[in-house]
Structure formats: C-alpha cells, structure tokens
C-alpha cells in the first residue's frame, strides 16, 4: 500500500519516493510509488496533476489493494539516464 503524504501535509509539492511497480493503466504507462503527495480522483474531487521525473502525471487512481497508481503521459526514463 502507498503511504499517502497528503494526509499529513496537504501543501506538499516536492517529495522523494521509490518506484515499486511499472504497469499499464487503461492503455497508458503508469507506476506505483512507495509514497506519494498526489491525491487520486475521489469523492468528486479530480486527481492532482504534476510531474514525476520530468514526465507528466495525467491521472491518479487507487487500486483495489490500496496502491496509488500514477498514470503517465510517457514511460519514465530508466534510472541514471
């Protein structure tokens, strides 16, 4: 399950996290992080937008297992690139 930083700091705009999974979500590249400040679509509120590693986050959703999925406009570059 993803640690949700927005519960303790709703103004957080910079954070460090580890990618724990790469996947495809509704045909788009996506990742799951160990922690996030991105609020997912919920209760009528749209998801946060921003960037991760220079790649645009176009949607944020929660999986049935509680993991927060960050849907990206393009795949993240490989580590160290």
Q: Is the pLDDT assigned to residue 80 strictly greater than 80?
A: no
Domain boundaries, position 19: 3-72
Q: Is residue 17 included in any domain, yes or no?
A: yes
- pTM equals 0.91
**How many domains does the chain divide into?**
1
What tokens appear for 24 in the block?
A: 């495809």
Mean of per-residue pLDDT scores for the chain: 93
CATH of the domain at 51: 2.40.30.130
Q: What is the pLDDT of residues 18-69, one digit of tens each?
A: 999 999 999 999 999 999 999 999 989 999 999 999 999 999 999 999 999 9
Burial class (CB within 10 angstroms; exposed 0-12, middle 13-18, buried 19+) of 65: exposed
Cβ-proximal residues to 76 (8 Å cutoff; 6+ apart), any chain? 19, 22, 29, 31, 52, 53, 55
């Amino acid at each position: 399950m993803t640690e949700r930083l927005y519960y303790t700091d709703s103004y957080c705009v910079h954070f460090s996290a580890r990618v724990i999974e790469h996947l495809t979500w509704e045909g788009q590249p996506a990742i799951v992080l160990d922690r996030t400040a991105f609020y997912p679509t919920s209760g009528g509120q749209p998801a946060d937008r921003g960037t991760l590693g220079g790649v645009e986050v176009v949607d944020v959703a929660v999986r049935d297992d509680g993991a927060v999925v960050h849907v990206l406009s393009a795949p993240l570059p490989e580590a160290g690139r």
